[in-house]
Amino acid sequence: GDSVTQMEGPVTLSEEAFLTINCTYTATGYPSLFWYVQYPGEGLQLLLKATKADDKGSNKGFEATYRKETTSFHLEKGSVQVSDSAVYFCALGGGSARQLTFGSGTQLTVLP
């Protein structure tokens, strides 16, 4: 079945540091890939998405490129801020099943 493997957390960075959160997937067919963010006490917010190979999703300074050859969708940001502190989830949809399949989440803490 479909699965998502996500970089274990927690990750602690200083403000303005470079962020990478690794995500790899296993799926049949041609899934769409997503990054969701969850702030404390809230639901999930869609951060960015990519629907086909080599697509780059971007939003709020975050980027991720759909790499079919390495089955990866790593999240990057050049300069993190304290307000980026949250839990980040990688997800795939539209593989062998309709629903979203999530990774385990990565807790990011950014210190001033």
Partner 1 sequence: KAGVTQTPRYLIKTRGQQVTLSCSPISGHRSVSWYQQTPGQGLQFLFEYFSETQRNKGNFPGRFSGRQFSNSRSEMNVSTLELGDSALYLCASSLFRDNEQFFGPGTRLTVL
Site of interaction with partner 1 (CB under 8 A) = 32, 34, 36, 42-46, 49, 89, 93-94, 97-105
Name the nearest CA neighbour of 22 among 5, 7, 12, 10. Answer: 7
* Closest approach of partner 1 to the CB of residue 17, in Å: 26
In the complex with partner 1, which residue's Cβ is closer, 19 or 91?
A: 91
Q: How far apart are CA 52 and CA 77, in angstroms?
A: 21
The CA distance from 108 to 81, in Å, is 11
Pick 69 or 98: Cβ nearer partner 1: 98
Query: How far from the centroid of its chain's Cα atoms is residue 60's Cα?
Result: 13
In the complex, the smallest distance separating the C-beta of residue 11 from partner 1, rounded to whole angstroms, is: 17
| Count of Cβ atoms closer than 10 Å to residue 8 Cβ | 11
Closer to partner 1 by Cβ: residue 46 or 111: 46
Smallest separation, CB 44 to partner 1 (Å) = 4
